[in-house]
Chains A and B, each alone.
Chain A
Amino acid sequence: MSGVGFWPPSVLEVVFLLLGLVAVGSALLVVTTRQLVHAALWLVVCFGALAGCYLVLTAEFVAWVQVLIYVGAVVVLLLFGIMLTRAPIGRSDDLDSGNRVVAAVVAVATAGVLVSVVVGGFQHAYADLRPGAGSAEELGASIFRNWVLPFEALSVLLLAALIGAIVLSRTDIKGRR
């Protein structure tokens, strides 16, 4: 690729943009649908589009992790959470919170801060997409050369979350008096 510019857009840029639109649109449907189970299923579409974005950015391994962990595991966890907490599932009209205007303002403000930080920080940065840069080998080399401590800290985080889930789900585990 010779010139660095956004016009005319390359095929990859168009695909990335379309996937981004799918992700944003399905994310909006997640928060506006009246059926909680449909919200979880729209989340699958959103995560899938995000995985497509990662693929276009040649982050191959992260894309499949997104499919495996988020589409495969986290959505199942959410569906179980819905099935545990709401017994009859169907259209529910009490899903809108009274704080939704405040929540929308906070969401837009957060998005504004994030977008302006990214634009401010990476305005003129240009990463050349190199196929293979996001492969498992490259990530493994990066983790086990530079990021071993965060990797080990992650195991403690997972352990804490697992024990927390077990304690919360069991009513017979009490704290020490």
Chain B
Amino acid sequence: MRDYQGVDGYFGSYAVVAVLLAIGAAIFAGALLINRLLRPDRPTEAKLTTYECGVDPVGDGWAQSQVRYYVFTYLYVVFAVDAVFLFPWATVFAAPGYGMTTLVEMFVFLAFIALGIVYAWRKRVLTWT
């Protein structure tokens, strides 16, 4: 049973995570700050252009992307949500009192989402043309 107090407790262990995050951010920001303070700073137009393998950059950094990438991102979102439900399921399905029903319930859930990927596959969303 975990308790409130101490570094091994719930809040204590997350406090350690928060402190580590703060130290990491401080080292990162401090290194950049010291860099900025110590280095000579004489910008010219040529120095400020984006380095692109030595070739002069053409156009803007932001280009309109194709809609097919959106479907891939969407597939990622759906399967991330799917995976999130696998974690609580994996912790309980073998526990006493759950058994076959819980196993089948998860596979029904997965089957519905698998229908989506079958649809994407049949509509040739996944093929690269």
Contacts and interface: CB of A to CB of B under 8 A. Distances in A.
Contact of A61 (B14, B74, B81, B88): B88
Interface in A151-169: 151-152, 154-156, 158-159, 161-163, 165-166, 169
Contacts, number: 141
Interface of B, helix, strand, loop or mixed by DSSP: helix
A163 B119 contact: yes
Contacts of A169: 67-68, 70-71, 125
Given A87-B63, A144-B98, A73 B10 contact: no
A80 B92 contact: no
Most buried by A among B74, B75, B120: B74
Nearest to B4: A131
B3 A158 contact: no
Given A88-B60, A166-B120, A12 B73 contact: no
B109 to A, nearest CB: 4
B62 A162 contact: no
8 contacts: A58-B10, A84-B69, A131-B10, A137-B92, A139-B88, A144-B102, A152-B105, A154-B81
Interface of A: 12, 55, 58, 60-61, 65, 68-69, 72-74, 76-77, 80-81, 83-84, 86-90, 131-132, 136-137, 139-141, 143-144, 148, 151-152, 154-156, 158-159, 161-163, 165-166, 169-170, 173
Interface of B: 1-4, 9-11, 14, 60, 62-71, 73-78, 80-82, 84-85, 87-93, 95, 98, 102, 105, 108-110, 112-113, 115-116, 119-120, 123, 125
